[in-house]
């Protein structure tokens, strides 16, 4: 729903930023998605706007100037949380359990994967070790939709149907855009960070990061490490177990 996306991701985020600055909330973390990188649909555009509002809010609050504000704002950007509401896992499950074929646009499409526990830990880590004005990005593996569909097909003994290509879907996702490279660095072995050219950062923090050259291979879903069939099967098995317990 475009109107809901606008109200939640743009208007709502702007309201949260203003309220946080007004009330001196010390740490604010927004949750973003790979859909915000080079967006092709309205949802992705609103998430990209949310990121800009969040990082720009530090300029408005003067979060990088000691004594000027008590509020700092950052962003965690990551890929698909497997089994989250509206994800492809739920679509495949509903089709398969009803005995219907799994529907795919392109079996070679790839998507980043992050388990919900890892996503929570990632956000909490960067809230606890907070640095304002940073977009934090985990290094993730990915799966192809064809491989995921195959696991559901084997589990439920259903077929597969190919749908026409839809213009609002990407074949592959990215976690870092080319225009962000000038401000992108490797924070540690598992994390990238994107800084703002408009903010000043703690010197100790800046000395500890390493700038990247070119889009890293693990920042694109078709060139990062690919999940094995066994890993996907384990992931789907856990998901189906949760569905049966509901």
List, by residue number, the catalytic residues.
Answer: 35
Terminal-residue alpha carbon distance, the chain: 27
Residue whose C-alpha is closest to residue 132's, from 180, 176, 182, 75:
75
What residues are paired with 155 via a beta bridge? none
Helix (H) or strand (E) holding 2: helix 2-5
CB 144 within 8 A of CB 107: yes
Cα separation, 243 vs 246, in Å, equals 5
What residues are paired with 194 via a beta bridge? 135, 184
Cα separation, 52 vs 46, in Å, equals 10
């Amino acid at each position: 729903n475009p109107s809901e996306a606008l109200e939640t991701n743009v208007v709502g985020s702007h309201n949260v930023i203003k309220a946080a600055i007004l009330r001196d909330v010390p740490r604010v973390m927004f949750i973003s998605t790979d859909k915000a990188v080079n967006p092709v649909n309205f949802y992705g555009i609103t998430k990209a706007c949310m990121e800009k509002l969040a990082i720009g809010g530090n300029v408005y609050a003067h979060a990088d100037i000691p004594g000027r504000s008590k509020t700092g704002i950052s962003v965690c950007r990551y890929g698909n949380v497997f089994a989250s509401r509206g994800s492809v896992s739920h679509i495949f499950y509903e089709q398969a359990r009803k005995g219907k074929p799994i529907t795919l646009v392109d079996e070679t499409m790839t998507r980043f994967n992050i388990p919900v526990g890892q996503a929570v830990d990632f956000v909490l880590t960067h809230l606890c070790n907070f640095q304002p004005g940073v977009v934090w990005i985990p290094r993730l593996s990915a799966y192809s939709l064809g491989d995921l569909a195959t696991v559901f097909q084997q589990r439920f003994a259903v077929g597969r149907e190919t749908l026409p290509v839809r213009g609002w879907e990407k074949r592959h996702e990215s976690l870092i855009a080319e225009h962000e490279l000038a401000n992108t660095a490797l924070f540690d072995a598992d994390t990238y960070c994107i800084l703002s050219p408009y903010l000043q950062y703690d010197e100790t923090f800046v000395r500890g990061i390493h700038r990247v050259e070119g889009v890293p291979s693990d920042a694109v879903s078709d060139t990062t490490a690919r999940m094995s069939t066994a890993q996907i099967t384990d992931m789907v098995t856990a998901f189906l177990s949760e569905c049966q317990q509901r």
